[in-house]
Amino acid sequence: MSQTETATPAPKTSHAHQLHVLKPERSRLGLMRPDHSKSVFIDWLTTVDHKKIGIMYGAIALFFLFIGGIEALIIRTQLIVPENNLISAERYNQLFTMHGTTMIFLAVMPLNSAFFNFLIPLQIGARDVAFPRINALSLWSFVAGALVINFGWLLEALQMMGLFAASGPTAGMTDLAPSGGWFGYAPLSSKEYSGVGTDFWIMGLQILGVASLTASMNFIVTILNMRAPGMKMMRMPVFTWMSLVVAFLIIFAFPAITIALGQLMFDRTFGTNFFNVAGGGQPILWQHLFWIFGHPEVYILVLPAMGIISEVLPTFSKKPLFGYSIVIFSGAVIGFLGFAVWSHHMFTTGLGKVATAAFSLLTMAIAVPTGVKIFNWVGTIWGGRIRFTAPMIFSLGFVWMFMMGGFSGIMHAAAPADAQQQDSYFVIAHFHYVIMGGIFLALVSGIYYWVPKVFGKMWTGSLSTWVAVLIVVGLNVTFFPMHFLGLLGMPRRTHTYLEGFGWSTYNLVCTIGSYILAIGILLLLVDLIRCLRSGEPAGDDPWDARTLEWATTSPPQVYNFAKTPIIPARDALWSHKHGPEGKKITYEDDHGHGIHMPSNSWMPLIASIGFVPLGLGMTLKQAGVPYMGSLAIFGLFVITLGLALWAIEGPGGFHLHPEEDEA
């Protein structure tokens, strides 16, 4: 039996002078690992640190929030008056498709992911996630997917500037940006009715699926296996609990869309008959498969928001969360029921009486655990010593606005009512109240709450109040009139409308509201930049908070906790600050061998870069551009190469000695 050769010399040599083994070492491959001490740029590209990865997720998500917001503003500006001609109907289709896709997959999900990445290891007292390199792969493949999805916009821009024309070898490239709606219903997404944009959309979503799946499996393993001693499941912060539920939702919901997208791609590229009506395909199957993914996706978006609220409300009410175990249980129930209600998106397709009644009932049943949560939050602030700080204001806004979205959701659950509301602006009003009024407010609350921890800078001034007022007023002015528009019969995805339907005033108000909202979000970015540039040092625990992440420094050191904390109770830090003697956080003695840290690696980045030629190659091959099949194979080769080198390279690692560092 052979001896193992590990990449690290650490345990075999003396521990005394391994300080700053941050120097690059040779991996098992004989290649140098990236030197993160020399170039900040290389450090960030090759990092496996969950905190840096989280920050990058957040920055990219905010960028796409900005892009998606601009798309929304153009849509609203087009609808400001009847028979407006600002943009063509085709462009309008592209805009609402990309607005939906961008906001869901490139803004909200990665913003959630930013919080997952940054917070989960800190909240459970771990040094990092279970598989730091897989975490880096998730980030970079997300970036690759975002590039592929948005490649159509790039081509559209080039075409406008006269630098690109669909002629010669590229003659097959029509309809450059996706325009089939964010749920890409067949047969609208089939080859007859849509061009190369749909292929960008398909391949982009596939790659984003890889990112989400790998990240989620990683988080589940992290939460279940990497908890600090004493951090029992029922002592975990609620945000971590909700992340766990979300990660399970992702790994069981995404495969459905992956296969459905694969089938659609085969239809378009190889002429199969999955959704091709003439060949016997059933477009309804696409709807089912999409919503089998799509409905859990709604909870994938909203549960992290509920987790954030469950952290912020107790902190600023100076009370423990009311009914901790019930909040967690109802979160899990919401997640589980989320798999059993997908057909309520399809009531009007004629499912049959029994199925419609069953899905209607199950949908209404989801209101129960959701209502339980709302009551628990109200119970938390009831009688609390409330501080109206920025995070608290947004969280209170969430409770109120999310309930509004919930109410119209119950209305949809009744199938006869839904038959009236289907595909009207009423639906738009409903899900924007849930997403903007609910999820987005919670995410902003999370940003205000945790940025002092992430960057170690405290917010200055009272701009946040203006942000809150503008966003809440803006979203209500934008989306409340849409209820009436829907009831007056205005269908969604309408390029323009005639005068005299009674829709004009409401549309004008909506558009004005959307600009108020936009100003609010812009001020949020201004506030953020101001905080980062000139914020005072925040200190470890600026909010007098309750959970473990506030026990470490702000910003946290690369190793999170100098010594592994031993968790005495739920709300560990609160118990540490105010609890009895036996309920304080203690720390494990590491016997002087320091903290083991994983080495940086190029391989996740290289493997992810391969997704770009793979995605673009598959797309352009379908459009008949020559040599694109080879490009796709090249992409596949790069991915395989990256993964193979990754495996051979080994995890590596080095040891840190924080006490000496801090001295």
Q: Which of residues 350-389 bind other proteins (CB under 8 A)?
A: 350-352, 355
Closest to other proteins by CB, 1 vs 163, is 1
Write down the least CB distance from residue 202 to other proteins, Å: 15
Contact between 246 and other proteins per CB under 8 A:
no
- The H or E element that residue 311 is part of is helix 283-317
Measure the CA–CA gap between 102 and 400, rounded to whole angstroms. Answer: 26
| DSSP bridge pairs for 656 | 595
Contacts of 31 (CB under 8 A, 6+ apart): 645, 649
Contact between 284 and other proteins per CB under 8 A:
yes
Measure the CA–CA gap between 605 and 593, rounded to whole angstroms. Answer: 31
Q: What amino acid occupies position 259?
A: I
* Two tokens, residue 111: 């913003």
Residues 321-340 that bind other proteins (CB under 8 A): 339-340
Residues 103-162 that bind other proteins (CB under 8 A): 130-134
Contact between 7 and other proteins per CB under 8 A:
yes
Please identify, among the stretches 199-207, 348-356, 436-444, 606-614, the one whose residues bind other proteins according to the rule CB under 8 A: 348-356
Site string for other proteins, 535-554 (x = CB under 8 A): --------------------
Q: Which of 298, 651, 656, 657 binds other proteins (CB under 8 A)?
A: 651
Contact between 598 and other proteins per CB under 8 A:
yes
Distances in whole angstroms, Cα of residue 378 to Cα of each of 235, 317, 327: 21, 11, 12
Q: Which of 58, 281, 405, 409 binds other proteins (CB under 8 A)?
A: 281
Q: Which of 44, 653, 658, 661 binds other proteins (CB under 8 A)?
A: 653
Please identify, among the stretches 6-14, 307-315, 433-441, 624-632, the one whose residues bind other proteins according to the rule CB under 8 A: 6-14
Please, what is the Cα angle at 113 between 110 and 118, to 5 degrees? 130
Q: Which of 231, 260, 393, 413 binds other proteins (CB under 8 A)?
A: 260
| DSSP bridge pairs for 444 | none
Contacts of 608 (CB under 8 A, 6+ apart): 137, 139, 140, 141, 143, 144, 642
Q: Which of 96, 116, 239, 274 binds other proteins (CB under 8 A)?
A: 274
Contact between 605 and other proteins per CB under 8 A:
no
Contact between 40 and other proteins per CB under 8 A:
no
Measure the CA–CA gap between 48 and 132, rounded to whole angstroms. Answer: 5
Please identify, among the stretches 73-81, 148-156, 272-280, 428-436, the one whose residues bind other proteins according to the rule CB under 8 A: 272-280
Please identify, among the stretches 166-174, 259-267, 480-488, 629-637, the one whose residues bind other proteins according to the rule CB under 8 A: 259-267
Contact between 218 and other proteins per CB under 8 A:
yes
Helix (H, G, I), strand (E, B) or coil at 402: helix
Please identify, among the stretches 65-73, 102-110, 344-352, 546-554, the one whose residues bind other proteins according to the rule CB under 8 A: 344-352
Measure the CA–CA gap between 621 and 203, rounded to whole angstroms. Answer: 12
Contact between 593 and other proteins per CB under 8 A:
yes
Write down the least CB distance from residue 205 to other proteins, Å: 15
Helix (H, G, I), strand (E, B) or coil at 537: strand
Contact between 228 and other proteins per CB under 8 A:
no
Write down the least CB distance from residue 267 to other proteins, Å: 8
- Residue entry with tokens 């080859």: 191
Please identify, among the stretches 106-114, 248-256, 315-323, 480-488, the one whose residues bind other proteins according to the rule CB under 8 A: 248-256
Q: Which of 66, 266, 501, 634 binds other proteins (CB under 8 A)?
A: 266
Contact between 317 and other proteins per CB under 8 A:
no
Contact between 608 and other proteins per CB under 8 A:
no
* Two tokens, residue 356: 């419609």
Decide if 5 contacts 650 (C-beta within 8 A).
no
Please identify, among the stretches 262-270, 379-387, 483-491, 617-625, the one whose residues bind other proteins according to the rule CB under 8 A: 262-270
Measure the CA–CA gap between 148 and 616, rounded to whole angstroms. Answer: 7
Measure the CA–CA gap between 484 and 298, rounded to whole angstroms. Answer: 24
Residues 290-309 that bind other proteins (CB under 8 A): 292
Contact between 282 and other proteins per CB under 8 A:
yes
Closest to other proteins by CB, 289 vs 573, is 289
Please identify, among the stretches 147-155, 397-405, 569-577, 644-652, the one whose residues bind other proteins according to the rule CB under 8 A: 644-652
The percent of the chain in helix, strand and coil, each rounded to the nearest 5, is 65, 0, 30
DSSP string, 565-630: EE--SSSHHHHHHHS-GGGS-EE---TT--EEEPPP-SHHHHHHHTHHHHHHHHHHHHTT-TTHHH
Binding residues for other proteins, how many (CB under 8 A)?
73
Decide if 150 contacts 66 (C-beta within 8 A).
no
Please identify, among the stretches 58-66, 72-80, 278-286, 532-540, the one whose residues bind other proteins according to the rule CB under 8 A: 278-286
Write down the least CB distance from residue 128 to other proteins, Å: 8
Measure the CA–CA gap between 383 and 380, rounded to whole angstroms. Answer: 8
Helix (H, G, I), strand (E, B) or coil at 32: strand
Q: Which of 12, 353, 385, 533 binds other proteins (CB under 8 A)?
A: 12
* Two tokens, residue 29: 């491959």
Write down the least CB distance from residue 108 to other proteins, Å: 22
Residues 487-506 that bind other proteins (CB under 8 A): none
Asked if residue 555 has a cis previous peptide bond (ω within 30° of 0), the answer is yes
